[in-house]
Amino acid sequence: LNEMLEAAKQGRFNVLYLYSLSRLARESVITLPILKKLVYVYGVRCICVTEGIDTDTTGWEVIAAIFALIHEQFIKDLSAAVIRGQEGALLSGYSVGDWCFGYGSEPVSGSEQNRAGRNSKPRKIYVINQEHAEWVSQIFTWYVDEGVSISQIVRKLNHLKAPKDHRSSSNEWHHDLVVNLLSNPKYVGDWPWGEMQNVRDPETGIVCQKPRSEEECEQWKREFPHLRIIDDNTFRKAQETLDVNAQKWEKHRRVNGKFTGSSPETNGRRKVRLLHGLLKCVQCDSPFYSDGKRARCRGGKRGTCDIVTSVPVKLLESMILERIGTVILEDDQWFQCVFSDLLKLHREYENRVPATIREKERELYQVTQKIERLVDQVEQGDAPEDLQRRLKSRKEEQKEIQYELKQLRLEWGKDLGTPSEAWLRERLKQLFDVLKESSPAANKALSALVGREIILEENEIPLRKRNYFRGKFRLNVRGVSSFLAGTPASVQETGQGEEVVIDFIQPDKADLQREIAKRMYDAQEPEFKIAEALGVSRSRVTKLLDEVFELLGEKKPDGRSRRSQLLVKHKEPPPYQAIAEEVMKLFREKKEYGEIAAALNIDRNTVTSSVKYWHEQRGLPVPDGRTRRKSL
């Protein structure tokens, strides 16, 4: 209907044939205004075949008003008849199509003989669908007996690919479906009907549902004990849990039951963010949603996708802006590609706009000639019967062309000439400044830059529990040049440009520790000094070094052999090192090893170790004991 009215406004047709006046609308207050707008505003002749209405004849408004009221009353009578028929089947215990998940219907043999019509169909009764009933029982078990949250139930149902109700338009389960299932009294044998009724707005024709009174619905309430799937105790516990949850969040809901949301100043969703609507999951093609701090796959939340990793929004924005800034401000090759494409767009613009202006001027001239010919016919006394309508239609067409011509001339007048490299560099700087604002304008600019999507792929990090995302997008040349030139880029043109790959990995404390540990390890530092520098235990240092060599694919050297090559081997020097100077003092006094041991009250072997240590520290040859004894 709206498309037809728009076509009439543009003057694309002059006569409209209607099979019936009811095809315009079922409300008289809508039918007549539309009809009068078509006739008197758009200059369209309307002919209704069934009612015999022709807007070129006198008095058509009265006839149209009468038939509009008749059609309005007809739909009300039809609605009452349908409800009466459903009520009869309802009170007889037959199915009226209101069965939910867990149930079905099957025909009653022989019931078609009592129905009117040549090819009458049998009545149907409600039955339990055993496969679906098992899922209903499982959902109640999860919620009541095991205490599983509704969000977890949704993920389980989607992960297990549980079937859904016959009226569902998608295969995915979501929060409201599970809540409605848990609160449905049909699973304990109580079958209400007609609680809501359709109400049409007489001014707009929009249909909405409103509740009926409890007294009216009471007459249609049915009890089917044989259709019970859940026992009363389990159902009661489920309602108690739902009520507790509802009371918990009651103060955060509006009158219509929807959440009020957090403060616009604190929820991070006050305005359209930089990456709004651009992030997509490579596995399930679902968009990413953000809670203001972290972004995650929508399919992962619902259990339809295996990706459950989240990523900080600030990390995404900062790394994407950093890479984009490097390209658009520093990459000369990319800059030249954009500049060449911008010149091409400008040449196309110079060829297109004047040609369009000339075409519009030609159309305006033709319409003006038609108007003048109609005026000439009036002066000659040969005016056609529909002169007023045709003249008004031509005037509207002339006015529309004049407006389009004016806009084209204004656009042509604003042309700043051929773009230069300096102009382009300045515009790119301005574009990057806009991107840093994280505003709706920044979102629009980034969408043009990356071709309307950034694909995120989950990858594993060795020795980390949390995975990371790898982002892929293209900084397309045509998208940038079209955005700067103010012209739309087609979908086919948005794939230009080299692919940009970004690994969104947060700096990890363990990575820094491994780097420091490896650097000190290569500098021949003992592990106890590495532990002191990192402020961790020696066992943690051992684990860090094991991880370093695992990442490098190398075998870690044996600890004992390495320790023997270190200058500092112990955190506290052993006794033979601590007394080395005292031993050497007596050594230089020509004392024998036994005498030195007795003087210092130590073992003879300790004296030998001290002498050896002292000489090795200074790079001197260790004296032989026998040779020294002979020289004493």
Which pLDDT value is given to residue 30?
A: 87
Domains of the chain: which residue ranges?
Answer: 2-91, 125-252, 271-506, 509-565, 575-631
Which pLDDT value is given to residue 603?
A: 87
pLDDT band at 266 (very low <50, low <70, confident <90, very high): very low
More confident residue, 567 or 136: 136
State yes or no: pLDDT of 161 exceeds 50. Answer: yes
Which pLDDT value is given to residue 412?
A: 55
Helices 332-379 and 313-330 pack at an angle, to 10 degrees, of 90
Reduced to 3 states, what is the DSSP secondary structure of residue 16? Answer: strand
Dihedral sign, CA of 310, 311, 312, 317? Answer: negative
User: Residue 283 and residue 106: Cα distance in Å, rounded?
Assistant: 40
Mean pLDDT of 53-66: 91
Which pLDDT value is given to residue 602?
A: 86
State yes or no: pLDDT of 33 exceeds 80. Answer: yes
Cβ burial of 226 (10 Å; 0-12, 13-18, 19+) is: exposed
Which pLDDT value is given to residue 536?
A: 84
More confident residue, 455 or 334: 455
User: Residue 280 and residue 294: Cα distance in Å, rounded?
Assistant: 14
pLDDT band at 494 (very low <50, low <70, confident <90, very high): very low
Which pLDDT value is given to residue 229?
A: 93
pLDDT band at 446 (very low <50, low <70, confident <90, very high): confident
Beta carbons of 295 and 273 less than 8 angstroms apart: no
Q: Which uninterrupted H or E stretch holds 236?
A: helix 232-248
Reduced to 3 states, what is the DSSP secondary structure of residue 176? Answer: helix
DSSP state of 142: I
Nearest alpha carbon to residue 26 among 83, 67, 59, 63: 67
Starting at the earlier edge strand, list the strands of the sheet with 310-312. Answer: 288-290, 294-297, 310-312
DSSP state of 99: -
Between 59-68, 151-160, 269-278, 459-468, the lowest mean confidence (pLDDT) is in 269-278
Mean pLDDT of 625-629: 74
Mean per-residue pLDDT of the chain: 81
Which pLDDT value is given to residue 268?
A: 45
Starting at the earlier edge strand, list the strands of the sheet with 499-504. Answer: 279-281, 454-459, 468-474, 499-504
Residue carrying the six token digits 């389960």? 173
State yes or no: pLDDT of 359 exceeds 50. Answer: yes
Between 31-40, 44-53, 421-430, 491-500, the lowest mean confidence (pLDDT) is in 491-500
State yes or no: pLDDT of 312 exceeds 80. Answer: yes
CA distances from 482 to 45, 175, 194, 435 (A): 44, 42, 56, 17
Nearest alpha carbon to residue 127 among 79, 85, 94: 94
Other beta carbons within 10 angstroms of residue 530's beta carbon come to: 24
Report percent pLDDT > 90 for the chain. 15
pTM for the model: 0.52
Reduced to 3 states, what is the DSSP secondary structure of residue 303? Answer: coil
User: 2-91 in CATH: which number?
Assistant: 3.40.50.1390
pLDDT band at 232 (very low <50, low <70, confident <90, very high): very high
User: Residue 632 and residue 626: Cα distance in Å, rounded?
Assistant: 10
State yes or no: pLDDT of 380 exceeds 50. Answer: yes
Between 33-42, 168-177, 318-327, 402-411, the lowest mean confidence (pLDDT) is in 402-411
At 109-130, the pLDDT tens digits run 877 767 776 777 888 889 999 9
pLDDT band at 491 (very low <50, low <70, confident <90, very high): very low
State yes or no: pLDDT of 263 exceeds 70. Answer: no
At 612-621, the pLDDT tens digits run 888 887 888 8
State yes or no: pLDDT of 48 exceeds 90. Answer: yes
Which pLDDT value is given to residue 139?
A: 94
Other beta carbons within 10 angstroms of residue 103's beta carbon come to: 23
Class assignment of domain 125-252?
alpha beta
State yes or no: pLDDT of 59 exceeds 70. Answer: yes
Three-point CA angle 258, 259, 265, nearest 5°: 145
In 307-442, DSSP assigns E strands to: 310-312
State yes or no: pLDDT of 270 exceeds 90. Answer: no
State yes or no: pLDDT of 186 exceeds 90. Answer: yes
Mean pLDDT of 285-303: 84
Mean pLDDT of 64-90: 88
HSE of 112 in the Cβ direction (CA atoms, 13 Å)? Answer: 8
Which pLDDT value is given to residue 416?
A: 47
More confident residue, 300 or 414: 300
